[in-house]
Amino acid sequence: MRTLTKMMAVSAVTALALTGCGRADEGSTDTGSGGESAAAGFPADSTIGVSLPQKTSENWVLAEQLFKDGLSEAGFKADVQFANGGVGEQQNQLQSMVTKGAKVVVVGAIDGSQLGTQLKAAKDSGATVIAYDRLLLNTDAVDYYVAYDNFKVGELQGQALLDGMKAKKPNGPYNIELFAGSPDDANAKVFFDGAMKVLQPKIDDGTLKVVSGQTQFTQAVTQGWKAENAQKRMDTLMSGSYSSTPIDGVLSPNDTLARAIMTSVKAAGKPLPVVTGQDSEVESVKSIMAGEQYSTINKDTRNLVKATIDMVKALQKGEKPTVNDTEQYDNGVKVVPANLLEPVIVTKENAKEAYANDPTLSKLTQ
């Protein structure tokens, strides 16, 4: 059985091909085997627990309301909570959901490796556990995983960095720096590994130079996904490595950190480099349209929540939810059947098309 890191590298090969704004869940009928059997069904007005992490980005805030509305419209009792107080609070919330008799528990984990006891309690109570956006690690008490293809996200970010720099300066070499997400988020290294699959060959052949020398995930992490932590590190990099050296690009794993990185570069009095992102946050889409941030990733939260609620509906009927990947997501104990949706890279050039169906972001691309 493959480790998570090796397995995620293979996911780039086996995941569905990127096709414009298409989503992996559209028209999918492959339920796979996955070693899991569907629940026997449960009453249509049952409680469904949704435990979300801290409100560190717009997509989590949006998910809260989407889950509340979507589950209620489907007839369920929605128990949606944020764990802004940290892992301990999330553990308590999950235990409370079990006590309330939740038939399905959806978990967007702060730290997917620290919820084993609570997840086991959920399974022992007869609930189905769905990992949402972030894989739950080192436990067999998880039934399904629904997310965008996060290794593909990293690949798209790495390629966008190369494309953006080449558009500004046709010939290298290019001076770059690397940022990663929070080390307690299972997705952070997956994003980083996907990007490095694209960037490492260019580092090896001299096309790219990481001037600080900080090329390892552990050197690039941003604790808590906090903007202030990214800005502080970028301030240090600018003063230590770029006082008299131009910087051409920065790999940023999300939009919040991208804006913090650009704030640091501006404060240093340097021209903005090519900066990547993720999540299609309003301020970053505005920045892209203004020609500042180069790219983001569109992972429409509406589609991800809908796919999750569709899983819940199937379980309520005693049916097996749709999955399209039964091999890649080894969490250290088991391979978790997954429904992967397709991420879309967005730059100024394709923003209007990418956000055409988004009632908020489409207004920013006119």
The C-alpha atoms of residue 345 and residue 164 are separated, in whole angstroms, by 12
* Residue 339 host element (H or E): strand 338-341
Count of alpha carbons within 13 Å of 296, Cβ hemisphere only?
29
Residue ranges, CATH 3.40.50.2300, the chain: 4-149+301-342, 151-298
| Coil, helix or strand at residue 12 | helix
pLDDT at 342: 95
- The CATH superfamily assigned to 151-298 is Response regulator (3.40.50.2300)
Nearest to 294 by CA among 150, 161, 158, 153: 161
In the predicted model, is pLDDT for residue 25 greater than 70? no
Give CA angle at 298 (197, 279), nearest 5°: 85
Q: What is the pLDDT of residues 46-93, one digit of tens each?
A: 999 999 998 877 889 999 999 999 999 999 999 999 999 899 999 999
Lowest-confidence region among 36-50, 225-239, 324-338: 36-50
The C-alpha atoms of residue 202 and residue 215 are separated, in whole angstroms, by 13
- β-pairing verdict for 344-347 and 295-298: antiparallel
> Who has greater pLDDT, 48 or 30?
48
| Phi-psi group of 34: left, alpha or beta (phi > 0 → left; psi -120 to 50 → alpha; rest → beta) | left
The architecture of the domain spanning 4-149+301-342 is 3-Layer(aba) Sandwich (3.40)
Nearest to 122 by CA among 145, 146, 99, 92: 99
In the predicted model, is pLDDT for residue 16 greater than 90? no
pLDDT at 195: 98
Q: What is the pLDDT of residues 260-272, one digit of tens each?
A: 999 999 999 999 9
Q: Which amino acid is at 23?
A: R
pLDDT at 57: 79
Q: Which amino acid is at 257?
A: L
The C-alpha atoms of residue 203 and residue 163 are separated, in whole angstroms, by 15
In the predicted model, is pLDDT for residue 29 greater than 60? no
pTM of the model: 0.81
DSSP 270-315: PPP-EE---S--HHHHHHHHTTSS-EEEE--HHHHHHHHHHHHHHH
Spatial neighbors of 65 by CB under 8 A, at least 6 apart, are: none
pLDDT at 56: 79
| Residue where the block lists tokens 């960037």 | 199
> Who has greater pLDDT, 56 or 340?
340
Nearest to 294 by CA among 159, 193, 196: 159
The C-alpha atoms of residue 101 and residue 97 are separated, in whole angstroms, by 6
- β-pairing verdict for 144-148 and 344-347: unpaired
Contact between 267 and 235 (Cβ < 8 Å): yes
Compute the CA torsion angle 98, 102, 106, 110 (nearest 10 deg). -30
pLDDT at 28: 37
Give CA angle at 324 (321, 326), nearest 5°: 95
Q: What is the pLDDT of residues 138-195, one digit of tens each?
A: 999 999 999 999 999 999 999 999 999 999 999 999 999 999 999 999 899 999 999 9
Q: Quick one: pLDDT band at residue 34, thresholds 50, 70, 90?
A: very low
> Who has greater pLDDT, 357 or 71?
71
Contact between 341 and 307 (Cβ < 8 Å): yes
pLDDT at 327: 87
